[in-house]
Each structure stands twice: as C-alpha cells, then as structure tokens.
Structure 1
Amino acid sequence: MDKAKGFMRRVLLVKFKAETAPDHVERFIKDYSNLVNLIESLKTWHMGNDVIIDNLHEGFTHVFELTFEDAEGAAAYVVHPAHLEFHERIAHLVEKTAMIDYKPTSFHT
C-alpha cells in the first residue's frame, strides 16, 4: 500500500434537522462550496446526496469530500475566519454530523 504524499481528505456526513427548509439546505451547499475559493489550503470540494435504497444512511442525507494540501492545511482550514463564519451561520440547521480524515492510499495486488 502506498500512502499519497501530502494530500489529506475529509469526508463529512450531514443530517439536517427535520425542520430545515430545502432552500436553507441549498444555501448551506452553495456557501460551503464557496470555501474552496476562500481558503487556500482547501484544494477540492465535492458533494453528493444519499441514494442508497437499503435505508442504511441513519438519517444522513448529504456527503461532502474535501481535499487539503496536507494535514497542516486541514488544521489551518478549521480555524480560518471564512470557515468559522460559515460554521456559525449554519450550525442551527444541522442535527448530526460524522467526519473522518484520511490520507489516500493506493492498494495494489
């Protein structure tokens, strides 16, 4: 297995509160995606909606994957004023999150 040098990825699962209006979810996504334009260490931002048919999502409806230049870049993102302001504005919309950071690893057999 070869660990990628540098890059680090973060996967975030989000469960919005039941009363969160769809237009607020859309605004959340738009504002969240814009962080890639505001924070230099954030290199890529992707998202998707849950499409599983087996109902194993435990209420999580959205997944976000962020790529950082390295672990230090991820740490800088957490305290960046744009991230802190975004988090403060949207925290009331979210019921639950789950997050994992990882270094991409190639596996060859």
Structure 2
Amino acid sequence: MEEQQGVLTHVLLAKFKEGTPPDQIDQLIKGFANLVNLTEPMKSFHWGKDLSIENLHQGFTHVFESSFESAEGLAEYIAHPAHIEFANLFLPHLEKFVVIDYKPTIVRI
C-alpha cells in the first residue's frame, strides 16, 4: 500500500434539520460548491445523497467531499473568510455532522 502523495480528502457527513426546505438545501449545496472558486487551496468538490441499501447511514443523508494538496492547504481553507462565512450559514441547518480528513491510500496487488 502506498499513501497518495499531495492529496488530502476532507469528508463531511451531514443530516439536515427536519423541516429545512429542499430549495434551501439546494442553495446551501450551491454555496458549498462555490467555495472551490473562492478558496484557492480547495482543489475539488463532490457531493451526494445517501443511497445505501444496507441502511447503515445512522441518519446521515448527505456526503460532501473536497480535496486539498496538503494539510496546510486544508488549514488555510478552514481559516479562509469565505469558508468561515459559509460555515456560519450552513452549520445551523444541520442536525448532526461528522468530519473526517484522510490521505487516500492506493493498494497495489
């Protein structure tokens, strides 16, 4: 196994609060996606809704994934005024969330 060089993945699992209108969730997701245009360290952004047939999601409904070139880039993103402003709008709409940061590892067989 080898750790992929120069990539750090930032994953946010989220459950929106009951009663948050779908159009508001859509606007929040668009705002999240726009951070890739506002914060240079953020290299990519992907998101999706839980589609698991195993029902092991523990109530989390959405996943947001972004990538950074380094831990320093992630730290710069977290401290960036655009991220702080967005987080202050986004987080109050979440019932619960969890964040995981990791370096992808490639398995060669």
The normalised TM-score by structure 2 is 0.95
Q: Tell me if the contact between 1:6 and 1:71 (Cα under 8 Å) persists in the aligned partners.
A: no
DSSP 3-state at the match of 1:12: strand
Query: Is 34-43 or 2-11 further displaced after alignment?
Result: 2-11
DSSP 3-state at the match of 1:75: helix
Indicate the percent of aligned positions where both proteins have the same amino acid: 50
Unaligned runs of 5+ in 1: none
Partner residue in 1 for 2:63: 63
Partner residue in 2 for 1:44: 44
Partner residue in 2 for 1:4: 4
Structure 1, residues 74-102: CA drift from partner, whole Å, max 9, x if none? 00011100000001112221111111111
Q: Distance in 1 between matches of 2:54 and 2:103?
A: 29
Partner residue in 2 for 1:105: 105
Q: Distance in 2 between matches of 1:21 and 1:68?
A: 31
What is the aligned-residue RMSD (CA, Å)?
Answer: 0.9
Question: Which residue type is aligned with residue 75 of structure 1?
Answer: A
Question: Which residue type is aligned with residue 8 of structure 2?
Answer: M
Q: Distance in 2 between matches of 1:91 and 1:23?
A: 16
Question: Which residue type is aligned with residue 63 of structure 1?
Answer: V
Q: Tell me if the contact between 1:78 and 1:84 (Cα under 8 Å) persists in the aligned partners.
A: yes
Partner residue in 1 for 2:85: 85
Spell out structure 1 runs of 4+ moving beyond 2 A.
none
Q: CA deviation at 1:40?
A: 0.4
Q: CA deviation at 1:53?
A: 2.2
Report the count of equivalent residues. 109
DSSP 3-state at the match of 1:34: helix
